[in-house]
Amino acid sequence: MAFVQEFAGKPVIRLQWGKEALFFDGKQPVAPSLVTLDLPGLKGTGHTTVSDWLIAYHQQRGKSGEHTDIAEALWRVSVLDDILDTRNGSDFVWHLSTYFTLGEFADFAVKHGPSLIGDLRAAIELARKQRASALRKLDKRVERVGGALYAGTRRLPFEINELEMAEDREAVAQLGAFDAMRWIDVCASLKNDTVKRELLDKIAAELVASGGDLPAALSRMIERKLDDLYAPELWKLLGPHLQLPGNLTGEAIDLTKAREVTVTASWHVWTAKRVGPIKIGRAALMATYDKELVYVRGERKLLHSIRARGGSIQRWGNTLVVGGRKGENTVQAKLLEVERIDTLAQVDPKSAARLVGEALPDAHPITTALARAHADPTWRRILADLLIERLVGIDADVARRLARAQAGSNRRSRF
């Protein structure tokens, strides 16, 4: 027996993993499928042994060269009984549920089950000295017949799924003219998730084409528990047309540990708390509020702006805080400070030096770096290094690497 696969657009079989494929001559089997080969006189099932047998077969029929194609006369579509008498039938027992129907398994059970049970009973009733030998002779049949019957039980959910899909698609075919709410209700009544997903995709396409009420439709989907369904195509279609206004006001949101993410359309984003209008495909800050994630309109530079204004600003009816008493010693707060010092040292060295908060002696390295930074831009980097180490307490090179890593991670995050 052999699995039929496809290679270079043609059906092939491989009798050993990783070996060359064997093609078919003349009539071609379906791929994927299971076929049985009839190779009289074959001494083994290894690839080389079979290839040599095929070469000799074709040469006996007048073909020159070394042909290993499988002629029409050498194969047929497998039947379930083949696992009992083929040389390698045991290798295919656990794959039978893919290729045979419940009806075929039932016929096989009626044909072979009672006789096997009778032979087992007869062997068990023998005297103890003869019993082991009799049971050993049944070992191969038990393995293959029992394995086939078990494979039949694994076929059951597959056919149930096929029947439910067929029933659900019949219901979808009778939907008639587009009515968003009615179609959503029908979708919720379906049994099969695949067909549900297909119908949700159709509903999304119709909503976009007709300019339908997206918020009302999504609310109905949530009401009918369809938000439990993974539906990427639905959000791919609706995302560019969704408006996500702010829905949280009058609260204090701590952004000290906020991350910049690229917002992608999803059930999570649609139902999330939002500070300010959020745009699909744009950057937003994601933080934790009341043990839940909240999206805040803005990018990472908003965090620097908040710190520059004393750690708190009013935006979209909420108070946004960075580096409050709980957060001022966090790694995120320190990395933000590193970025601020680096930027100030490059664009305004005097303002950067004033971050020290006290007058420094003329011989102090920071004072020297500030004096030279005006004439030589390379000293601005040195000034930033000195300020980072003094104010943040982290080696400047290490701090920059951490800041770059965090910024890169934030940019790659998608929710």
Q: Are strands 75-77 and 33-37 parallel, antiparallel or unpaired?
A: antiparallel
Distance CA(237)–CA(224), nearest Å, equals: 20
pLDDT attached to residue 367: 87
Q: In terms of C-beta distances under 8 Å and separation of at least 24 residues, what long-range contacts does 335-338 make, across chains too?
A: 335/399, 335/402, 335/403, 335/406, 336/303, 336/304, 336/307, 337/307, 337/391, 337/392, 338/388, 338/392, 338/394, 338/396, 338/399, 338/400, 338/402, 338/403
Q: What is the mean pLDDT of the chain?
A: 88
pLDDT attached to residue 334: 67
pLDDT attached to residue 257: 82
Backbone φ and ψ for 6, nearest 5 degrees, come out as -115, 135
Burial class for 254, CB neighbours closer than 10 Å (0-12, 13-18, 19+): middle
Across residues 367-395, what is the average pLDDT?
Answer: 84
pLDDT attached to residue 45: 78
pLDDT attached to residue 325: 43
pLDDT attached to residue 186: 97
| pLDDT greater than 50 at residue 119 | yes
Distance CA(348)–CA(370), nearest Å, equals: 10
**Per residue in 231-263, pLDDT tens?**
999 999 999 999 999 999 988 888 888 888 899
**Per residue in 261-295, pLDDT tens?**
899 999 999 999 999 999 999 999 998 888 888 99
**Per residue in 169-189, pLDDT tens?**
999 999 999 999 999 999 999
Backbone φ and ψ for 88, nearest 5 degrees, come out as -115, 25
Cβ–Cβ < 8 Å for 315, 276: yes
| pLDDT greater than 70 at residue 26 | yes
pLDDT bracket for residue 69 (50, 70, 90): very high
pLDDT attached to residue 387: 85
| pLDDT greater than 70 at residue 332 | no
pLDDT attached to residue 155: 92
pTM for this structure?
Answer: 0.62
| pLDDT greater than 60 at residue 415 | no
pLDDT attached to residue 406: 60
pLDDT bracket for residue 53 (50, 70, 90): very high
| pLDDT greater than 60 at residue 209 | yes
Q: How far is CA 10 from the centre of its chain?
A: 30
Lowest mean pLDDT among 69-73, 114-118, 339-343: 339-343
| pLDDT greater than 50 at residue 326 | no
pLDDT attached to residue 95: 87
| pLDDT greater than 50 at residue 327 | no
Q: What percent of the chain has pLDDT over 70?
A: 93
Top pLDDT among 312 and 398 is at 312
pLDDT attached to residue 185: 97
pLDDT attached to residue 409: 53
**For residue 92, what are its two tokens?**
């295919």
